[in-house]
Amino acid sequence: MKRKQPTTHEAQFRGKKVRVTVPENQDQAALMRDAIRDQLSPHAVAAIASCLQINRTNDADVDRQVRWFHGQLCELLGGFEQQSRLAEELGL
């Protein structure tokens, strides 16, 4: 059985065009959340979410994807208030 190729989107990274993927369905998103939970502490997730929250690009589609990922990270932590509390503990 041939494995389906993930949908990719063009993005700019360090002046070069690259292809990035964004999870398309709940199963992939759930796998991503599980991997994050397994590898990162809640404080590390809060720090990453804080960094994502303040960044903007010149590409609205990329900004939308970053906001989506930020929301996923905050959801892992129990919501935006919990993310803010953890970030404050870290001095962010």
| pLDDT tens for each residue of the chain, 92 residues long | 566 676 777 777 778 888 877 656 657 778 888 889 999 999 999 999 999 988 888 999 999 999 999 999 999 999 999 999 999 999 99
Place of tokens 């404050």: 88
What pLDDT sits at residue 91?
93
What pLDDT sits at residue 7?
73
What pLDDT sits at residue 26?
58
Q: How far is CA 56 from CA 44, 68, 69, 91, in A?
A: 21, 13, 13, 22
pTM: 0.66
Rg (CA), the chain: 15
